[in-house]
Structure 1
Amino acid sequence: MSEAAKRALAEAAERRAAIDAAAQAMPKELNGRGGKEPVRYGDWEVGGIASDF
């Protein structure tokens, strides 16, 4: 694997960790849809299909 690919994977892992940390900091939703927050990546995701706003 090239050095650029290794750097890209490391950067992506850091971004995912930051997103996961932000999700943990969110207050618990009462009577919500359950599961992960559908807008956690900056777009709307339901059932594996993502759409931008």
Structure 2
Amino acid sequence: MVAIPQRTKGIEVTRADDATTTEDFRRQRIAEAAQRARAEAEARRAAADAGNPPRPREINGRDGPEPVRYGDWEVGGLATDF
């Protein structure tokens, strides 16, 4: 078999047998990018949690999700005033 160099997304492949190596390399790059993205997301979550103190518990408030956030303005067909 004659080695014919080819360019595949910045990775040089010289033989058809090297395709598995190229695929492994691509998967490794994706895994590294996923790890970096996960670390960045964890850092953003930690920064957001550090800036927001826990909210005090509401006394005699309604149960369920917060109506302003979830658009749940009625209970049993009656509009609520919160």
Q: TM-score by structure 2 length? A: 0.33
**Structure with higher helix content:** 2
Larger Rg, first or second structure (1 or 2): 2
